[in-house]
Amino acid sequence: MVNKRKRQSFWSLKLREIGTKRASSPIASADEEGLRKQIAAWRRRVKLTNQVESPSGIPLREVYTPQDMPYFRYVSELGMPGEYPFTRGVYHTMHRGKLWTMRMFSGFGAPEDTNRRLKHLLENGETGLSIAFDMPTLYGYDADHERAKGEVGRCGVNVSSLADMKTIFEDIPLDRVSTSMTINAPAPVLTCMYVATAQEKGVPPEKLKGTTQTDILKEYVAQKEWVFPPEAHLRLIRDMIAYCTKHMPYWHHISISGYHIREAGANAFQELAFTLADGFAYVDLGLEAGLKVDDFAHRLSFFFNCDMDFFEEVAKFRAARRIWATAMRWKYGAKKQRSMLLRFHTQSSGASLTWQQPLNNIVRTTIEALAAVLGGTQSLHTNAYDEAWALPTEESATLALRTQQIIAEETGVPSVVDPLGGSYYVEWLTNEMEERAYRYLEKIESMGGILEAVKTGYIQREIAETSYKRQQQIEKGKTVIVGVNKYITTQESPIKTLKIDNAVQKRQIERLRILKDQRDSRKVKESLLRLKSTLMDTSANSMPAILEAVKARATLGEIMAVGREVFGEWKGPEAF
Amino acid sequence: MAAHVSLQKPAGKQRRIRILMAKPGLDGHDRGALVLCRAFRDAGMEVIYSGLLVTPEQVARIAVEEDVDVVALSLLNGAHMTAFPAVAKALRKTGASDIMIVGGGIIPDEDKRILEKEGITGNFGPGTPLKTIIGHIADRVEKKRHRKR
């Protein structure tokens, strides 16, 4: 091998900086000398036998003191809320000034079922919408496709055409509510459907507020709802970034998601590192589209998981803000403060919910929601207690919303910004999270970037390894899950759950038949032909052609089929 | 955990259990399936993984081509009542009804009874210990091999 001197990456420079900081011992004052003696004496007195690790495997001391971070500097590492490096929060007054958005992930059955649920939640104090789509929609198949058999409306709402999208938002004022859509591979199509729905209601795209998830990179490693090869999806995302930056100034076109990475089995700092790596890849993509970093970076948003590891979660959120701000400023040369803000949505952990003793899940969700709030989230979904069994009932979803409302209105937690800041433990753990994330970021860059790391299966293997280890810990009883491997009840009493009827599929198929009967099929054909030639020309922006096809009443499946024809489908690396 | 131990030391010439782990549907939630692949292998089985997004017919074809004893199906998308019986049907169609099927996922009790009638057993829910799943598979294979002798 040629011995080539490599240019130092930004991440390795950051790691070196941390190393230097650690090595430099500050001048000991009399007070610090006293502290050192006190701690040494305490250690002699206290018998310490058991080794304890955080759930991510970080060894933990019994107690943290200033001695654990003699290099800690308030101004450079924390700063004030709403100011660089934003460790303490992205806004000056955080939840005291404005509560987080209560955004419940909802969607099931046919569009009218979901429309009713959305209106119910809004009437009960929800402050933002979030739509869950079913598997056929997520994979870009219509309800009448062979592969959709048995899956329509089961994991979310089915959307096969613009008509379905319009039904979901019937009687909902799109100029006043913000909508998040958990859609990735077909994100451009669903965005166009939302735009068309709004336009028909007289709301122009420039007024629309909301988010499409669009984060395909984490699909390849975690949720695995991809359609095309990575390069094709990234090109479509590039088009979306450019289009939305120009026409939809309030739209978050990508929600860079750690949630699914965590659910797939990653630990807290893996979630942090892989999510940020994906985030920086999207910044690169925007730059590649010819945009300036300060023109689009502020529209990138994040989406994290909040699991049961209370302090790790808080530390993770704080570290995420600091790393993003630091890299946006120094690696990407962002000048505007808004480009440096890591704003995020949080969902309490689905994987932490247990099928056994489901009422325990209310307690889990409460603890996770509290950590998310203390970590400075901008919006929050709280899982319902029955979600290890099925999609939530109206009753359980309402209770989950109430959980947030109780935290917001009764605990006093929102009154003070970053109340855990300054805790020796939390600050130390924040630094740990940061350093471990930098190590992964450096490793990924040295492998040739995130796309390489995804295509070779490196990230997937890292996640699977952690997930298998955790399962083994559970099997051995070293990791306790109440009701699952300890405090087991022999007789579980069943709970009432939401059932999705097969009639939903029949109804959706019938609707498609009528739609195809009534629409101008020549217009549809022409729009799909134009779309095909646009997709084949990599320098073209595909969004206008997709919007045109949507408006001509081409279905989701038909539009995605054009993509499948042009780009082919992705198989993914060997997973086992 | 007798089944686990006996698997790692197969008696005499008896071949190791060959198992196909499959997700027959539009479902990318493979955390459980991947954990099971490793657990089956660690328990001494020969494991083949279908990968994602295979159809029930493809699952049956792989099962026959790979000459497996067992097909383990995992779905978390609520489509088990359509997809699992479809795999059973496809296996029957190819004359491979001797291949056993076990299932797992989020499967309500009332569905379990129907699946059992199709010969799909186990139907383990979230939180099931790995040894329970492995023991169930080993028992079924053992019983069947015993009947053949």
Rounded mean pLDDT, B59-74: 98
| φ, ψ of residue B22 in degrees (nearest 5) | -140, 150
* Residues in chain B closer than 8 A to A150 (CB atoms): 25, 79, 81-83
pLDDT reading at A538 higher than 70: yes
Q: Are A306 and A368 within 8 A, CB to CB?
A: yes
* Residues in chain A closer than 8 A to B126 (CB atoms): 354-355, 388
Mutate which of B1, B4, B21, B31 to test chain A, going by most A C-beta atoms within 10 A? B31
Query: How does residue B13 score in pLDDT terms, banded at 50, 70 and 90?
Result: low
Residue A3: the pLDDT is 47
pLDDT tens digits for A205-220?
A: 999 999 999 999 999 9
Q: Are B28 and B63 within 8 A, CB to CB?
A: no
Say how far apart CA A536 and CA A542 lie, in whole Å: 10
CB pairs under 8 A between A and B: 96
Give the nearest chain A residue to B28 (CA atoms): A224
Q: Is residue A263 part of a domain?
A: yes
pLDDT reading at A230 higher than 80: yes
Say how far apart CA A210 and CA A207 lie, in whole Å: 10
pLDDT tens digits for A13-34?
A: 999 999 988 887 665 667 888 8
Taking CB atoms and an 8 Å limit, are B127 and A354 in contact across chains?
yes
Residue that has been written with the tokens 């308030």 in this structure = A74
Residue A5: the pLDDT is 54
- In chain B the domains, ranked by start, together with CATH numbers, are 17-148 (3.40.50.280)
Residue A119: the pLDDT is 97
pLDDT tens digits for A517-532?
A: 999 999 999 999 999 9
Q: Is residue A504 part of a domain?
A: no
Residue A89: the pLDDT is 98
Q: Are A379 and A342 within 8 A, CB to CB?
A: no
Our measurement of the distance from residue A369's CA atom to the centroid of its chain's CA atoms, rounded to an integer in Å, reads 15
pLDDT tens digits for A233-272?
A: 999 999 999 999 999 999 999 999 999 999 999 999 999 9
**B83 and chain A in contact, CB less than 8 A:** yes
Residue A25: the pLDDT is 65
Residue A576: the pLDDT is 86
pLDDT reading at A2 higher than 50: no
Residue B146: the pLDDT is 87
Q: Is residue A297 part of a domain?
A: yes
The residue range of the domain holding A431 is 77-476
Q: Are A465 and A296 within 8 A, CB to CB?
A: no
Residue A334: the pLDDT is 98
* Residues in chain A closer than 8 A to B29 (CB atoms): 223-224
Q: Is residue A514 part of a domain?
A: no
Q: What is the mean pLDDT of chain A?
A: 95
**B34 and chain A in contact, CB less than 8 A:** yes
Three-state helix/strand/coil letters over A178-226: CEEEECCCCHHHHHHHHHHHHHHCCCCHHHCCEEECCCHHHHHHHHCCC
Q: Are A117 and A129 within 8 A, CB to CB?
A: no
- The interface predicted TM-score (ipTM) is 0.92
pLDDT tens digits for A143-156?
A: 999 999 999 999 99
Give the nearest chain B residue to A387 (CA atoms): B106
- Residue of A147, A484, A576 lying closest to B127 (CB–CB): A484
Say how far apart CA A81 and CA A58 lie, in whole Å: 28
Q: In this structure, what CATH number is given to the domain that contains residue A267?
A: 3.20.20.240
For residue A125, what are the CA distances in angstroms to A102, A170, A342, B95? 8, 18, 26, 57
Give A136: exposed, middle or buried? Use CB within 10 Å, 0-12, 13-18, 19+. Answer: buried
Give the nearest chain B residue to A139 (CA atoms): B26
- Residue of A224, A388, A468 lying closest to B30 (CB–CB): A224
Rounded mean pLDDT, B125-136: 96
Taking CB atoms and an 8 Å limit, are A151 and B79 in contact across chains?
yes
* Residues in chain B closer than 8 A to A493 (CB atoms): none
The count of C-alpha atoms lying within 13 angstroms of the C-alpha of B80, restricted to the half-sphere facing its C-beta, is: 31
Say how far apart CA A141 and CA A458 lie, in whole Å: 29
Q: Is residue A491 part of a domain?
A: no
- Residue of A389, A471, A575 lying closest to B49 (CB–CB): A575
Residue A1: the pLDDT is 42
Q: Is residue A30 part of a domain?
A: no
Q: Where are the alpha helices (DSSP H) in A50-201?
A: 74-77, 94-97, 111-123, 135-138, 162-168, 187-200
Query: How does residue B12 score in pLDDT terms, banded at 50, 70 and 90?
Result: low
Residue that has been written with the tokens 């409306």 in this structure = A153
Say how far apart CA A487 and CA A107 lie, in whole Å: 34
Residue A27: the pLDDT is 59
Give A305: exposed, middle or buried? Use CB within 10 Å, 0-12, 13-18, 19+. Answer: buried
* Residues in chain B closer than 8 A to A484 (CB atoms): 127
Q: Is residue A32 part of a domain?
A: no
Query: How does residue A113 score in pLDDT terms, banded at 50, 70 and 90?
Result: very high
Provide the chain B residues 123-142 that lie in CB contact (below 8 A) with chain A. Answer: 125-127, 129-131
Q: Please report which helix (H) or strand (E) contains residue A33, including its range.
A: helix A30-45
pLDDT reading at A373 higher than 50: yes
Question: Which has the minimum average pLDDT: A37-41, A109-113, A539-543, B145-149?
Answer: B145-149
* Residues in chain B closer than 8 A to A571 (CB atoms): 51
Residue A102 is encoded by which pair of tokens?
A: 């209560």
Say how far apart CA B51 and CA B17 lie, in whole Å: 20
For residue A98, what are the CA distances in angstroms to A42, A94, A125, A375, A415? 44, 6, 15, 15, 10
Q: Please report which helix (H) or strand (E) contains residue A230, including its range.
A: helix A230-247
Q: Are A147 and A515 within 8 A, CB to CB?
A: no
Q: Are B60 and B87 within 8 A, CB to CB?
A: yes
Q: Is residue A391 part of a domain?
A: yes
Query: How does residue A175 score in pLDDT terms, banded at 50, 70 and 90?
Result: very high
Domain count, chain A: 1
* Residues in chain B closer than 8 A to A475 (CB atoms): 129-131
pLDDT reading at A439 higher than 70: yes
pLDDT reading at B3 higher than 60: no
Taking CB atoms and an 8 Å limit, are A576 and B21 in contact across chains?
yes
pLDDT tens digits for A375-430?
A: 999 999 999 999 999 999 999 999 999 999 999 999 999 999 999 999 999 999 99
**A575 and chain B in contact, CB less than 8 A:** yes
Q: Which residue has the higher pLDDT, A342 or A490?
A: A342
Percent of chain A predicted with pLDDT > 90: 90
Query: How does residue A462 score in pLDDT terms, banded at 50, 70 and 90?
Result: very high
pLDDT tens digits for A273-293?
A: 999 999 999 999 999 999 999
**B107 and chain A in contact, CB less than 8 A:** no
Say how far apart CA A538 and CA A450 lie, in whole Å: 21
Give the nearest chain B residue to A468 (CA atoms): B35
Q: Which residue has the higher pLDDT, A27 or A52?
A: A52
